[in-house]
Structure 1
Amino acid sequence: MFRYPVTILRFGQLVISVVLFAMMLQCFSKMIVVAEFYANRDYIARNLCINRFNTAVHCEGRCQLDKRILQEERSNGDKEVRQDGRNEVLSSKSFYPSLVIPGVVFVERDYPIIAGSRPVDRPLSIFHPPDWLLA
């Protein structure tokens, strides 16, 4: 009787774990490429590097790293490129026309400062500190 909900709960945890792992792989794909490069740096420098026979260039496999990162960006970048030519509205201010009236002058007004340090007359039945604050 209680085995069915437990099975669904475990299945849900498994699905959530797989989806979270897939999202993390997508987000950290460049870091994975770089970590793989540093883990196999000697092998890449000796066997895969384009400049391994040229002693004047000390690439040490960085050409392969750059190639793999560029390949990773291209494989991820194709999904983000918009194919249609529609314009996107980035701000509502740029979408709606604004009314600009030429010749409007803004006037600054100076308000007098009240002389004296006494409070403004207010009815004490409404404007008073709370009772718990006075105790």
Structure 2
Amino acid sequence: MKNPKKQWIALSLLTLMLVKAWVLPLLYLDFEIRRDYIIANLCVNRDKPMMHCDGKCYLAKRIAEAKEKEARQAENDYLSHLLYQVMDNSQAVYSAPPVAFAVRMPVNYQYKSPFAARNAVADIFHPPLV
């Protein structure tokens, strides 16, 4: 039996994500629905009918505000992510043992990088191996 509470929470979160993704299209829809009211009351150039603004100034201002708010939110998310990484205590920082107790032995690594430059023509055109 499915839990209706979990379904309600999932549906609510999905709705919030869709609203966030559809902010700009919803602004355009709001503008088209309320165009007459915006032209009559909210337009900056309503006193200058010869400009034929028709509320586009109001729409441009609302779009600029939405983009600025989204940029601010992205910046805050990035900064909070950085702070979380710095303050994360789940990964303990281990320091090297004191020098007096450390046994120093040379370590030789044999590693060939796959990104090393090579001559592709020499790999193809060579005598066959017997």
**TM-score of Structure 1 vs Structure 2, range by shorter chain:** 0.5 to 0.7
3-state secondary structure, aligned to 2:117: coil
- For residues 36-115 of structure 1, the aligned pairs below 5 Å read 36-81=30-75, 82-83=78-79, 98-100=115-117, 104=119, 106-107=121-122, 109=125
Q: Deviations over 1:57-102 (max 9, x none)?
A: 1010000001111111111111223449x9xxxxxxxxx994336x
Q: Structure 1 residue 16 and structure 2 residue 31: aligned?
A: no
User: Aligned AA for 1:100?
Assistant: A
Provide closer, same or farther for how the CA distance between residues 78 and 105 of structure 1 changes in structure 2, counting only shifts above 3 A.
Answer: closer
Structure 1 residue 13: Cα displacement: 1.0
**What one-letter code is carried by the residue in structure 2 that aligns with 1:43?**
Y
Match for residue 106 of structure 2?
none
Q: Quick one: distance in 2 between partners of 1:97 and 1:78?
A: 41
CA RMSD in angstroms, aligned pairs only: 3.0
Unpaired runs of at least 5, structure 2: 83-112
CA separation in 2, counterparts of 1:54 and 1:97? 68
Q: CA deviation at 1:106?
A: 2.2
The residue type paired with residue 39 of structure 1 is I
Aligned length: 93
Q: What does 1:115-126 correspond to in 2, within 5 Å?
A: none
Q: Taking structure 2 as the reference length, what is the TM-score of the superposition? A: 0.60
Q: Which has the larger radius of gyration?
A: 1
With normalisation by structure 1, the TM-score equals: 0.58
Counterpart AA for 1:74 = E
Paired with 2:73 and 2:114, the residues of 1 have a C-alpha distance of: 33
Higher-helix-fraction structure = 2
